[in-house]
Amino acid sequence: MYFRGLKKTLGDVYISDPIDVDKDGNQLTLLDIVAEDDHIVEDIDLKMKSEQLYRYIGECLEERERVIIEHRYGLHGKKPLTQREVAEKLGISRSYVSRIEKKALELLRWRFDAGDSPIRPTVKRTP
pLDDT digits (tens, 9 = 90+) for 39-72: 777 888 889 989 999 999 998 999 999 999 999 9
pTM: 0.60
Domain assignments of the chain as residue spans, ordered by start: 47-114
- Residues 6+ positions from 60 with CB-CB distance below 8 Å: 107, 108, 111
The pLDDT of residue 3 is above 90: no
Q: Which residue has the higher pLDDT, 49 or 117?
A: 49
- Nearest to 123, CA basis, from 111, 115, 29: 111
Q: What's the mean pLDDT in 66-90? A: 94
The pLDDT of residue 12 is above 60: yes
Tell me the CA end-to-end span of the chain in Å, nearest whole number: 90
The span from the CA of 19 to the CA of 9, in Å, is 18
User: By 3-state DSSP, what share of the chain in percent is helix, strand and coil, each rounded to 5?
Assistant: 60, 5, 35
Query: Which DSSP category does 6 fall into?
Result: H
pLDDT at residue 19, as a whole number: 78
Q: What's the mean pLDDT in 77-95? A: 94
Q: What's the mean pLDDT in 86-103? A: 96
47-114 carries CATH number 3.40.50.11390 = no
The pLDDT of residue 124 is above 60: no
Q: Is 75 helix (H, G, I), strand (E, B) or coil?
A: helix
